[in-house]
A and B are shown apart, each in its own frame.
Chain A
């Protein structure tokens, strides 16, 4: 029982990272129906950008007090801006020209972009894992025999704050409304005077910025990364988005936490970590069989 609770805590923090990445997948899919394959790599880029910014700031050890707040804020915001820009550039050059092409074409370019980003990161920081400094003090509390680390709390809180901010943005601002309108019916949105290209670019900006934030968080959490990290994380995050109901923000969040929990609970079994992908995908298949539109997705009647 004690083990189970411990894994629940681990799973929630793991899930927080997946949830942040899943938001980007679900937003992009919601608006242009593209599986943005490069998204997982943008997330890894976020970790590397964070590393670079911390390097510029001369941070290599734990911070306390005001410097902690300032340096972390600069790093997170910097990583988010850089990743957001990368996302916008990818959309502009690799996806926008293909918006009316057959469905497979942008998916293939997405895979191509993913390969390019991975190669760039490999050239930049080498093929082996790169350590990430432990910037946060990381006290741990033991509650009823379960260890809760500060960084785990931070991941969960961070994910929830981002999620709430995103919801507020989407449902309370004009730009958010434009995004929802474009997602529902691109042509109609255009007729209503919405700049569709700018709105799609904005979607990539926000989705990629969230991936950048997730990249920072994962650096803090795992204290290392490598160029290929995004593939597996991206796969699981996309699974999370589908699980929650693709296009649905709350669903992506729920899916992310669920995938994190499932993965952590798989660790309770001997050699469980080796089987985590198998377990995650089996759950996905089961959910899709019984709820094809995902947990929170609406099942729309077919348009005839």
Chain B
């Protein structure tokens, strides 16, 4: 049974079709990637999954429940977390607070607990903080807990965003171009981090331009071009797929 299943999803903006009749599945426990030239509709797919957009047509099922049209916060609570192509951290909050905010969906404190700091609230707050520190260590930022997110170097910001996403204890993690702007060394660390995330039992679905990283790490790859799915398969199959080569290099004349 697949964890995520998109079935014939179409998304139109006005007259423009950003995603056209796309179907694919993500299996539990896998690392899968989606590639495609700029403007192929990859980010739109993520936005459809996390409820920023509602599909014009088609259905999205996550763990056997329809999630299309649900508000974003409910989708997060149901077990999907993501990072953003252009990092969107809470700039004027500490790294620790960023991760603790990520745990929001898993917390139980009600309004009155927040106001009065009831014993239950204090206990939960301590647990949440401990977990956040553990996650910071997991992504290699244990020394930066008190720094404002915006003061961290670029690579650390990317990792903090992943830590924040993991804080919601997702079953599926969506990474939107996690390697963008990274040097080879940082990419190595990232691949290692992604594998460790999978070992935690989290399914990873990433959008990436860096072919080296994609081919190295993913078990399955989906290729999108101009809103259409043009190929799907193992990295080896994709590498030799004629349509994919054409989409990237242009048709031979």
Contacts and interface: CB of A to CB of B under 8 A. Distances in A.
A301 B43 contact: no
A304 B85 CA distance: 8
Q: Which 5 A-B pairs have the closest CB atoms?
A: A304-B47, A304-B52, A301-B13, A302-B52, A304-B43
B84 A304 contact: yes
Contacts of A301: 13, 53
Interface in A273-303: 301-302
Nearest to A102: B92
Interface in B49-91: 52-53, 84-85
Nearest to B50: A304
Interface of A: 301-302, 304
Contacts of A304: 43, 46-47, 52, 84-85
A304 B52 CA distance: 9
9 contacts: A301-B13, A301-B53, A302-B52, A304-B43, A304-B46, A304-B47, A304-B52, A304-B84, A304-B85
A302 B13 CA distance: 12
Nearest to B84: A304
Contacts of B47: 304
Contacts of B13: 301
A301 B43 CA distance: 13
Interface of B: 13, 43, 46-47, 52-53, 84-85
A132 B47 CA distance: 58
A302 B84 CA distance: 13
B75 to A, nearest CB: 14
A33 B43 CA distance: 27
Given A304-B43, A304-B46, 7 more contacts: A301-B13, A301-B53, A302-B52, A304-B47, A304-B52, A304-B84, A304-B85
A7 to B, nearest CB: 39
Contacts of B53: 301
A19 to B, nearest CB: 28
Contacts of B46: 304
Contacts of B84: 304
Contacts of B52: 302, 304
Nearest to A303: B86
A104 to B, nearest CB: 13
Nearest to A301: B13
A301 B52 CA distance: 9
B88 to A, nearest CB: 8
A301 B46 CA distance: 14
A302 B52 CA distance: 8
Nearest to A300: B13
A304 B47 CA distance: 8
A188 to B, nearest CB: 16
B81 to A, nearest CB: 15
A289 B43 CA distance: 29
Nearest to B18: A301
A50 B47 CA distance: 55
Contacts of A302: 52
A304 B88 CA distance: 9
A238 B47 CA distance: 34
A200 to B, nearest CB: 25
A3 to B, nearest CB: 43
A304 to B, nearest CB: 6
A243 to B, nearest CB: 23
Nearest to B43: A304
B59 to A, nearest CB: 21
A124 B46 CA distance: 60
A101 to B, nearest CB: 14
B18 to A, nearest CB: 9
A102 to B, nearest CB: 10
A301 B85 CA distance: 16
A304 B43 CA distance: 8
A132 to B, nearest CB: 48
A27 B84 CA distance: 32
A22 to B, nearest CB: 27
A302 B53 CA distance: 9
A304 B13 CA distance: 15
A133 to B, nearest CB: 53
Nearest to A298: B14
A304 B176 CA distance: 11
A304 B45 CA distance: 12
